[in-house]
Amino acid sequence: GYRVVSLVPSCSLMLKHEWPLLLPDNKDVGKLASHTMDISEYVVDIASKEGLCVAGLRPLAPTIILHHACHSRAQNMGFKAKEMLQAIPQLKVATIERCSGHGGSWGCKASSHATALKVGQPVAKQASNIHAKSKMTGIVSSECPLAGMHVKQGMHALTAAAIPPPVHPIQLLAAAYGFITLTTTTINSSAAPAPPLP
């Protein structure tokens, strides 16, 4: 009866789809796969069945440059991060549905990093344009932390502009509830708690 909730799409893809392909006759693996959800998928599921306390959500000012990670798309569940963020009042979300070029550890290796940035250049250009239109207030968000960082690196390589650190969409929801504070340099989890809800 428990749900297994994954913060990173690569992990949920492995648990939901790839592990059952490797061990198709293992009933435990099948049961785990059927009970695994991506964090955004989980929140959207709760919202559709029970609703979210929207009265506690505060508007967020920055434009969110939301990257739809490849491993989220591979799960064929829709753009759940975008659906989840639509609950936040007045939030401007610009979406990018292309590969960041990171490719897991391949994008981290010195021998392939420059090529990975070239592969991700269309995403970096699109994100940089959104960032410029937002008067340099845009924040990159991706469910994949490696992809988010890679998009930021690509944007910096194109423009040499200071780009705030990327954040996970669930951090944006937490900020809208007042649990954390978003800044241009860091995420502060010691923010004052949200006021009690009516």
Mean pLDDT calculated for residue range 96-113 = 84
Q: What is the mean pLDDT of the chain?
A: 85
Residue 198 pLDDT: 34
Q: Which residue has the higher pLDDT, 183 or 115?
A: 115
- Which amino acid is residue 104, in one-letter code? G
Q: With a cut of 50, say whether residue 146 has pLDDT above it.
A: yes
Predicted local confidence at residue 197, as pLDDT: 35
- Which has more pLDDT, 196 or 159? 159
Q: Which pLDDT does position 51 carry in this prediction?
A: 87
pTM, rounded to two decimals? 0.85
Q: Assess whether pLDDT exceeds 90 at residue 30.
A: yes
Look at residue 54 in the predicted model and tell me its pLDDT. Answer: 80
Q: Is the pLDDT of residue 131 over 70?
A: yes
Using the predicted structure, report yes or no on whether residue 124 has a pLDDT greater than 60.
yes
Residue 110's pLDDT band (boundaries 50, 70, 90)? confident
Which pLDDT does position 171 carry in this prediction? 94
